[in-house]
Structure 1
Amino acid sequence: MNTDMMKKVCHADGFIAALDQSGGSTPKALKLYGIKDDEYEVGKPSMYDCIHKMRTRIMTSPSFNGNRIMGAILFEDTMNREINGVPTAEFLWKEKNVVPFLKVDKGLEPEKDGVQLMKPIPELNSMCDDAVAKGVFGTKMRSVINFANKEGIKAIVEQQFTYGKQIMAKGLIPILEPEVNIKSPEKAEAETLLRAELLENLKMLRDDQKLMFKLSLPDVDDLYEQLVGHPNVVRVVALSGGYSRTEANDILSRQHGVVASFSRALTEGLRDDLTNAEFDAMLDTSIEEIFQASIASGVKKELHTHK
């Protein structure tokens, strides 16, 4: 494991940029960016060419660097491509001082017991080996909680931890993302159940097993305080989950020790037809707003926790 990356993730001010839209969410991201449906074929190389061009523009922007951005989560296709002739993960770390992560999940199962588990990931070991070879620091995988169903939430957390242990065994830091749907009529209750299950599963880890959590912005401020201070938890980051950037930043700023890992809120307002100067200025504003919300809590992990 890269100790310089670990130090940055543990202690640097900043947030994690989520640039990992997959096959299912890419058309929506491209539409918001101003790329019309007839400019590519869904699920075909032309679609991934379009989204890589968008991501390249973001990552090569002068505004996008390690001063305010701690890490970036990549889709597998992005990891396997290059930025300015350099493999993406290598470009992020060596050129931008941004820690690379890889999205490893393969989408969601249909809802059962109020939740959507991840589809099986039979190729997880080979994906992890590939990520390690390319200089990636960690992974991310998402499942969704729609209702406060105790059995469903227990199943979600167990699946996340099971895959998480497999990822840790490969020398990577997994980001577990059991997202609570912000539109859930039982959001607060679901979050309370989720916290209890996460703390219970953390008890079963060895001292040397380290992970991160990516969680929905909670209804109750500082709900995840025990996770932030837990010795097995490298960092707790928050997803924007459909909130506007203003809303997300406002809630985030009240969560001590939690930093952002935004996707839609990061790219809000960016369009293909902007001039480079306009694009960079808008991205700079977005990054600065999210950065300020992320550092507002002012709490960082102690170094001795992660020797």
Structure 2
Amino acid sequence: MPNQAQMDKIKAGQGFIAALDQSGGSTPKALRLYGIEEDAYSGDAEMYDLIHAMRSRIAQAPAFTGEKVVGAILFEMTMDRQIDGKPTATYMWDERGVVPFLKVDKGLADEENGVQVMKPMPELDALCERAVKAGVFGTKMRSVINAANAEGIKAVVAQQFEVGKQIIGHGLVPIIEPEVTISIADKAAAEDILLAELTAQLDALSDNQTVMLKLTLPEAANHYKSLVDHPRVASVVALSGGYSREEANTRLSQNTGMIASFSRALTEGLSAQQSDDAFNGTIADTIDSIYQASIAG
């Protein structure tokens, strides 16, 4: 069973979820935005050391606490490492009051019917067992929707819930993330189809099955309000999806009950070259702006 204190914190929604789960493919870009060019390291080991140092610096910033940050999504390698001498998930909850989640998907399959479903996850059960032992509360897995294709969107949502039930079986709470690409011409139509498919899957869950949803900020304000209010949903969080932090915050504040789960928008303006005072000041301002947008709705 999920930790009740952590569940209460997530359901209360007084804050946002920090996405610190860049994978191998997106790590070089995240480091480059942080002021570390690819010629500054050689090989994956050094790259992962640098991204862990960045995540550790964020997690140890004075403003990064459960007062405004209710959860953090970790990359598998981050879960396996330590911050300030403690396993990362333990550090997040015990020292910062932040609920730990784990990214579990292994990337995206090739596009078909306008969508990308998740690649197979043959080691998911073993990973979930490790996550439970590490003190992780929930998981996150991402699919992508690139067109308002009913068949494709149905397949994305069906796969998300099938895997989600497997994760629930381990006592974890899955964050189901069917991301709608923000640049597509038929985004609003895709969101209409997605809402219907998510509702059908949620209605079919049993009373002891709880999920979270991570959704692209919609074209119509409060488009997903019925999901926020659904009894099987602990929380609906928003991904920034490439919007600037300013636009993401503006859109978020128009959606009642949705809170942020930003990655790029969280680290915008941070750099490895900043002094600790400058870094901590920047992250404090960022955390406050995302927090205000999260609770404004």
Taking structure 2 as the reference length, what is the TM-score of the superposition?
0.99
Pairwise CA distance, 1:41: 3.2
How many angstroms apart in 1 are the aligned matches of 2:108 and 2:42?
23
Runs of 4+ in 1 over 3 A off after TM superposition: none
Q: Deviations over 1:60-119 (max 9, x none)?
A: 111111100000000000000000110000000000000000000000011110001110
Match for residue 178 of structure 2?
178
Match for residue 166 of structure 2?
166
Contact persistence 2:147–2:186 (CA under 8 A): yes
Count residues with an aligned counterpart.
296
The answer to whether structure 1 residue 116 and structure 2 residue 133 are counterparts is no
How many angstroms apart in 2 are the aligned matches of 1:88 and 1:40?
24
How many angstroms apart in 2 are the aligned matches of 1:97 and 1:283?
17
Q: Which one-letter code corresponds to 1:119 in the other structure?
A: K
Q: Which one-letter code corresponds to 1:39 in the other structure?
A: A
3-state SS of paired residue (1:175): strand
Contact persistence 2:13–2:235 (CA under 8 A): no
RMSD: 0.6
3-state SS of paired residue (2:255): coil
Match for residue 304 of structure 1?
none
| Unpaired stretches in structure 1, ≥5 consecutive residues | 298-307
Match for residue 227 of structure 1?
227
Match for residue 274 of structure 1?
274
Contact persistence 2:101–2:139 (CA under 8 A): yes
Pairwise CA distance, 1:12: 4.2
3-state SS of paired residue (2:70): strand
Match for residue 16 of structure 2?
15
Match for residue 91 of structure 2?
91
Q: Which runs of structure 2 are paired with 1:7-156 in the superposition (5 Å)?
A: 7-42=8-43, 44-156=44-156
Aligned-residue identity in percent: 58
Cα 1:19–1:208, aligned 2, differ >3 Å: closer, same or farther?
A: same
Q: Which one-letter code corresponds to 2:160 in the other structure?
A: Q
Q: Which one-letter code corresponds to 2:268 in the other structure?
A: E
How many angstroms apart in 1 are the aligned matches of 2:3 and 2:205?
21
Q: Which one-letter code corresponds to 2:34 in the other structure?
A: Y
Q: Which one-letter code corresponds to 2:256 in the other structure?
A: H
Pairwise CA distance, 1:180: 0.1
Q: Deviations over 1:19-70 (max 9, x none)?
A: 000001000000000011112235x111110100000000011111110000
Taking structure 1 as the reference length, what is the TM-score of the superposition?
0.96
Q: Which runs of structure 2 are paired with 1:216-255 in the superposition (5 Å)?
A: 216-255=216-255
Q: Deviations over 1:175-234 (max 9, x none)?
A: 000000001111000000000000011121101100000000000110001100000000
How many angstroms apart in 1 are the aligned matches of 2:186 and 2:26?
25
